[in-house]
Amino acid sequence: MSKTSRRIFSAGLAVATVIRATEAFRPANERIFDARFDYALLPTFWRALLLPGIRQLLVALLEKFGMGIPGMLFCRTQFIDDALMDWLGNSTQQVICLGAGYDTRAYRIPGIESTHYFELDLPTAQSLKREHLLKVLSEIPAHMTFVPIDFDRQSIEDEMAAAGYQPEIETFFIWEGVTQYITAEAVDATLEFAAQAAAGSRIAFTYIDKGILDGPSRTRTDQRILTRVARRGVPWVFGIDPAEIESWLSRRGFKLIDPADAAEYRKRYVTPVGRELNIYEGERMVLAEVPG
């Protein structure tokens, strides 16, 4: 990959991290989640956007023109944090983060070092992340394993077996902000793999309302986002009907535990800290379990 392409790719990964990192500067009693490690992971260039004065302007612009994306990112981060911390116990456990990007849970969740934590993503994304991690940490933590993969072209089962994954051990799967970008076949293949994990294993994943892609539920904001991602060469191609999510999961071997939408995010995370925050309505979250 050329230096120019590498910079473009790095920028795409860093933008969401910059947005999440703005939470690190909130008073502790106003934070939706603790973003201090997200800030630490940012390259120096991107940290400049969070300098005093510039940061306040950035936050104001994001709230006005961000179409609810920042609020969605904050809340879905805390939803998965809560679900993961609630699941962590004393037994041998594994975590698989699918399409990890600059996810930081492997480095900041209390007790996570007792798990075997797998991060799956494209090789270029992982190479960039490792570079930045080694600038923050003296070495990659021993509980971490990076698994390079293209979900549309490679078998997750084969790649995970080679990486040391043990399906008989209880596993927590994180699939954040990924499903809308891959095919229905790739989604089903991934869920089929996860459903073979030990009973009690869980998966937390985001999805787009299928009506946005098909048209009936599409708002002006949805159309703006669809146009933007298509122009960047990463169109949304997959969605699920929220009214059918429970049966949809059941057919794929999972029991619905906890669904969440923008209204639920506000109730759990925004109102308790006394903030008013626009949250994008088109993306939803689900926590499901492999029944036993």
Q: Where do the structural domains in the chain lie, given as residue ranges? A: 66-289
**pLDDT score for 8:** 46
Interval 173-194 mean pLDDT? 93
- What pLDDT, in 10s, does the model give residues 100-135? 988 999 999 999 999 999 999 988 889 888 988 998
DSSP H or E segment with residue 200: none
**pLDDT score for 216:** 81
State how beta strands 171-175 and 144-148 pair: unpaired
- What pLDDT, in 10s, does the model give residues 127-159? 888 988 998 998 999 999 999 998 778 889 999
- What pLDDT, in 10s, does the model give residues 87-99? 998 778 999 999 8
Interval 176-191 mean pLDDT? 92
**pLDDT score for 292:** 85
Instruction: Using the Cα atoms of residue 114, residue 115, residue 121 and residue 124 in order, give the sign of their dihedral.
Output: positive
Interval 45-62 mean pLDDT? 91
Domain 66-289 is found in CATH 3.40.50.150: yes
pTM beyond 0.95: the answer is no
> HEC string of 50-89?
HCCCHHHHHHHHHHHHCCCHHHHHHHHHHHHHHHHHHHCC
Interval 188-213 mean pLDDT? 96
Q: Which of 22, 59, 57, 62 is nearest to 38 (CA)?
A: 22
**pLDDT score for 12:** 60
Interval 13-41 mean pLDDT? 91
- Asked which of 10-19, 72-81, 102-111 is least confident by mean pLDDT, the reply is 10-19
| 18-147-45 Cα angle (round to 5) | 25
Inter-residue contact 135 to 44 (CB < 8 Å) = no
Confidence of residue 9 (pLDDT cuts 50, 70, 90): very low
